[in-house]
């Protein structure tokens, strides 16, 4: 079983205490539970009466890392002004103003869902060859 650094676990992330579950070794919630340090006095756990063991567990979260994107400033340089106006208008409506700029700068990661949405906008504009500024492999804690 892989081990994780508990300092990366979001504070509100619910943990799973089912050691006997057949998915425990691949479940991010259980891996976070096993990495829990004794210094943590308060945690969130999934109600053991609600969690199912095995394939039918609705709380299962895969521990396979996924690709996140960081920033898309470089895209603007490769777009015509009219293309960028349409691109930014669509993304501003989707993300809100502050979130849009945080995603564009790379201070907020683009989740796999965000990447798919941005790629869809790029496809509509005929710019499917554009890439994000950087990519990172991380655990999917929230999405």
Which 3-state string (H, E, C) describes the chain? CCCCCHHHCCCCCCECCCCCCCCHHHEHHHHHHHCCCCCCCCCCECCCCCCCCCCCCCCCCECCCEEEEECCHHHHHCCCHHHHHHHHHHHHHHHCHHHHHHHHHCCCCECHHHHHHHHHHHHHCCCCCCCCCEEEEECCCCC
Instruction: Look over the chain and give the mean of its residue pLDDT values, rounded to a whole number.
Output: 92
pLDDT at 55: 81
* Contact status, residue 12 vs residue 45, Cβ threshold 8 Å: no
pLDDT at 93: 96
* Average pLDDT of the segment spanning 24-51: 91
In sequence order, the β-bridge partners of residue 15 are 45
pLDDT at 1: 54
* Average pLDDT of the segment spanning 59-84: 94
What is the band of 74 on the pLDDT scale with cuts at 50, 70, 90?
Answer: very high
104 φ/ψ angles, rounded to the nearest 5 degrees: -60, -45
Single pTM value for the model: 0.80
What is the band of 142 on the pLDDT scale with cuts at 50, 70, 90?
Answer: confident
């Amino acid at each position: 079983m892989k081990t994780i650094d508990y300092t990366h676990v979001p504070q509100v992330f619910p943990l799973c205490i089912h050691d006997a579950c057949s998915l425990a070794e691949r479940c991010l919630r259980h891996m976070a539970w096993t990495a829990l340090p004794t210094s943590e006095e308060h945690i969130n756990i999934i109600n053991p009466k609600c969690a199912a063991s095995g394939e039918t567990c609705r709380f299962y979260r895969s521990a396979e890392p996924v690709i996140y994107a960081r920033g898309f400033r470089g895209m603007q340089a490769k777009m015509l002004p009219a293309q960028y106006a349409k691109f930014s208008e669509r993304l501003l409506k989707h993300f809100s103003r502050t979130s849009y700029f945080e995603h564009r700068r790379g201070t907020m990661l683009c989740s796999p869902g965000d990447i798919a949405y941005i790629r869809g906008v790029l496809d509509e504009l005929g710019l499917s060859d554009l890439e994000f500024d950087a990519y990172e492999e991380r655990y999917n804690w929230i999405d």
